[in-house]
Amino acid sequence: MRIAMWSGPRNLSTAMMYSFAARGDCAVVDEPFYAAYLDKTGLTHPMRDEILASQPTDPAAVIDGLLGPIPAQMPHFYQKHMSQHMIPGMPRDWVQSVTNVFLIRHPARVAASFSAKYDNPTLADIGFVQQAELYDQIKQAGGRPVVIDSGDIRRDPERMLKRLCAAIDLDWTPKMLSWPSGGHPDDGVWAAHWYGAVHESTGFAAAEGPLPDLDGPRAALAEAAMPAYERLCSVAI
């Protein structure tokens, strides 16, 4: 099985990659379109040069890797994707060949967390609109995409991961609840900038507290993302 997990930034996505890697039967890949996205947009993200040097910048080559032989001859292949990387012109037809899951998080939490690491983020930077577009595309083509909220996972990891595995016809294993600290060999090169907290973890963090109080641009960003989030939230498992 090839599992494409579509997320935005600051959304439990790395912990979920570690969870699936901990199964022992699942190869993983970390944001394989990142270099292609930076190459096409010209954006100056942290560690831009290192990212461009670490991955193919040709989307066709990325897709060949996603649909080709699974690394290490594993039975399953977990693909951690950032929805915001699917900019206009980035091929999307290949998504019909994989099992698609959408990992969502309340926009207020994303806006607060991402803006602490990235200056002046825009709606396009946080992936909510692209998530909704991809979900609609897959549904219209007859697919059965699954939506899961990261807040629900943090409240009850075992219950929600069991539900996710059932929804995608994957055997559940309690190995998914913990992993070694210090990161994963398949982390992207950008892990040095973004993954500090998750590298210290050995399992999912506890449930989140109240929503953050936002004002100014961060509040406007969260408000703009709410319609896409609410649509996907309404069909979450």
Query: Where do the structural domains in the chain lie, given as residue ranges?
Result: 2-233
Question: For residue 197, how many other CB atoms are within 10 A of its CB?
Answer: 10
- 56 vs 34: CA distance, rounded Å: 9
pTM: 0.95
CATH classification number, 2-233, choose in 3.80.10, 3.30.420, 3.40.50, 1.10.1060:
3.40.50
Helix (H, G, I), strand (E, B) or coil at 46: coil
Question: For residue 198, how many other CB atoms are within 10 A of its CB?
Answer: 21
pLDDT tens-digit series, residues 57-96? 999 999 999 999 999 999 999 999 999 999 999 999 999 9
DSSP code, position 66:
H
- 109 vs 229: CA distance, rounded Å: 12
pLDDT given for residue 92 in this prediction: 94
- Quickly state the pLDDT bin for 178 (edges 50, 70, 90): very high
**115 has a pLDDT exceeding 80:** no
- Quickly state the pLDDT bin for 194 (edges 50, 70, 90): confident
Q: Which amino acid is at 204?
A: F
